[in-house]
Structure 1
Amino acid sequence: MYTILKKEVLNPTVTRMVIDAPFVAKRAKAGQFIILRVNEEGERIPLTIADSDSEKGTVSIIFQIVGKTTMLLNTLEEGDSLHDFVGPLGKPSEIDGNEKVCIIGGGVGCAIAYPTAKAFHEAGSDVTTIVGFRNKDLVILEDEFKECSDAYYLMSDDGSVGQKGVVTLKLEELIQSGEKFDKVIAIGPIIMMKFVCELTKKYNIPTVVSMNPIMIDGTGMCGGCRLRVGDEIKFACVDGPDFDGHLVDFDEAMSRNRAYMDFEKHEREETCNLLNKEVA
Structure 2
Amino acid sequence: MFKILSNEMIAENIYKMDILAPRVAKSAKPGQFIIVRVDDKGERVPLTISDFDSERGSVQIVVQALGHSTKKLVSLGSGEFVKDFAGPLGNASDFISEDFELLRNKKVVFVGGGVGAAPVYPQVKFFSDLGICTDVVLGFKNENFVILKNEFESLNANVHFCTDDGSFGFKGLVTDKLEELIKSKNIDIVVTIGPMIMMKFVAELTKKYDIKTIASLNTLMVDGTGMCGGCRVSVNDEIKFTCVDGPEFDAHLVDFDEAMSRQSTYKEEENHKCRLDGDLNV
TM-score by length of 2: 0.93
1:266 aligns with 2:268: no
1:1-280 aligned at under 5 Å gives the runs 1-95=1-95, 96=98, 97-98=103-104, 99-176=106-183, 178-273=184-279
Q: Say which SS state the counterpart of residue 219 (structure 2) adopts.
A: helix
Root-mean-square deviation (Å)? 1.4
What is the Cα deviation at residue 119 of structure 1?
Answer: 1.4
Q: CA deviation at 1:71?
A: 0.8
Which 5+ residue runs of structure 2 have no aligned equivalent?
Answer: none
Q: Quote the offset at 1:123 in angstroms.
A: 2.9
Deviation at 1:149, TM superposition (A): 4.2
Distance 2:257 2:62 in 1: 27
Range 73-82 or range 149-158, more displaced: 149-158
**Deviation at 1:273?**
4.6
Structure 1 SS opposite 2:264: helix
Aligned to 1:278: none
CA contact (8 A) 1:5 1:20 kept: yes
Cα distance in 2 for partners of 1:15, 1:79 equals 16
AA partner of residue 207 (structure 1): T
Letter in 2 for 1:25: A
Q: 1:264 to 1:116 in 2, by over 3 A?
A: farther
State percent identity of aligned pairs: 52
Q: Is the 8 A contact 2:124 2:157 kept in 1?
A: no
Describe the shift of the 1:173–1:86 C-alpha distance in structure 2 as closer, same or farther (beyond 3 A).
same
- Runs (4+) off by over 6 Å: none
* 2:241 counterpart letter in structure 1: F
Cα distance in 2 for residues equivalent to 1:230 and 1:40: 39
How many angstroms apart in 2 are the aligned matches of 1:54 and 1:187? 24
Once residues 279 and 201 of structure 2 are traced to their aligned partners in structure 1, the CA distance between those partners, rounded to angstroms, is 38
What one-letter code is carried by the residue in structure 2 that aligns with 1:81?
A: F
Letter in 2 for 1:224: G
* Deviations 1:35-83 (CA, angstroms, capped at 9, x unpaired): 1110111111111111100011100111100111101101100000111
**TM-score, with normalisation over the residues of structure 1?**
0.94
Alignment length (residue pairs): 273
Q: Which residue identity is paired with 2:154?
A: E
Q: Which runs of 5+ in 1 are unaligned?
A: 275-280
